Amino acid sequence: MERFLDHFRDEHIGILKSKQVFSGMTEEEIRSFMQHADPEYIYMEKGESLRVSQQYASMMGLVMTGRVHLYSIGYDGTKTLIRSMEEGETSGMMFYMLDYQNTLVELIAFDDSEILLTQPENIFVAEHSDITAQHKILVNLISSQRNLFYKLTEHIACLSQRTLRGKILRFLKYMSDVNLSHEFDIPMSREELADYLAVDRASLSRSLSELRDEGVINVNRRHFRVNRPEEFQF
């Protein structure tokens, strides 16, 4: 990891202004805050992985460009996809909220990605010269966390289903609600979906084939169509 200020370019101002966490801030406020916060900078190429050590576990993360997947790593090496963080999304206090300081965490880049990591005290502890900017960031951060908690709640709802069929149907209901349609593309591969649902890929493929053969769904790689939404009994 490196200092973001060592990579900071004028075009980064426009990128940051487009993110929800910096919404309503002037260019000068963003520059001033970056000088104060002095965030860490990570660049990851598509497919690259990064294990997050304990010293970074409490830091606030912002995906500046690209998309990354956040995994927890069990002691037996199994991975569970916690969530996908897309461009502009913040991790919040993900690691501390879910007790990740005692669990390995891995980031995998879905696309070429740039990530900023900031110590939370640089946001929550006000500096007189940056108090207006910090207030705006806190308001924006609270707003962005609503989406985070919604996604976490839906993930827990998927994992809490007693059967694999139930997990799949709950996930497909969530995707239908997000897309306002019973036909959609999911933002992950089959293997990533298996990690998200905490099941093995072979069992997932078998269950998807059964649902397809029953006429409940049509599926082609990442493209799904739900033919019988009445199956969503949750």
Residue among 56, 60, 85 at smallest CA distance from 137: 60
pLDDT on residue 227 = 96
For the cut 80, the answer to whether the pLDDT of residue 205 exceeds it is: yes
pLDDT on residue 194 = 93
> How close are the terminal C-alpha atoms of the chain, in Å?
43
Task: Write the CB contacts of 6 (distance below 8 Å, at least 6 apart in sequence).
Answer: 41
Segment among 4-8, 147-151, 213-217 with least mean pLDDT: 147-151
pLDDT on residue 96 = 38
Domain ranges of the chain: 2-157, 162-231
pLDDT on residue 131 = 77
Instruction: Find how far residue 12's CA is from the centre of its chain.
Output: 21
Q: What does the pLDDT average to over 164-178?
A: 95
Residue-wise pLDDT for 75-89, tens only, equals 777 777 877 777 656
Residue among 43, 40, 90 at smallest CA distance from 70: 90
Distance CA 219, CA 217 (A): 6
Domains 2-157 and 162-231 share a fold: no
Residue-wise pLDDT for 100-139, tens only, equals 445 577 888 988 998 888 887 777 665 666 678 778 888 8
For the cut 50, the answer to whether the pLDDT of residue 183 exceeds it is: yes
- Percent pLDDT > 90 in the chain is 31
For 64-105, the three-class secondary structure string (H helix, E strand, C coil) is EECEEEEEEECCCCCEEEEEEEECCCECCCHHHHCCHHHCEE
Report which of residues 127 and 95 the model is more confident about. 127
Average pLDDT taken over every residue of the chain: 82
**pLDDT-based confidence at 93, cuts 50/70/90?**
very low
Pairing state between β 60-65 and 183-185: unpaired
Instruction: Find how far residue 209's CA is from the centre of its chain.
Output: 28
162-231 folds as Arc Repressor Mutant, subunit A (1.10.10)
CATH superfamily of 2-157: Jelly Rolls (2.60.120.10)
Helix (H) or strand (E) holding 161: none
Residue-wise pLDDT for 17-72, tens only, equals 888 888 888 888 888 888 888 888 889 999 999 887 666 666 777 888 888 888 87
Residue among 40, 41, 90, 44 at smallest CA distance from 66: 44
Residue among 24, 25, 34, 36 at smallest CA distance from 62: 34
**pLDDT-based confidence at 204, cuts 50/70/90?**
very high
For the cut 70, the answer to whether the pLDDT of residue 91 exceeds it is: no
What is the gyration radius of the CA atoms in the chain, in angstroms?
19
What sign does the dihedral 215-153-53-12 (CA atoms) show?
Answer: positive
**pLDDT-based confidence at 92, cuts 50/70/90?**
very low
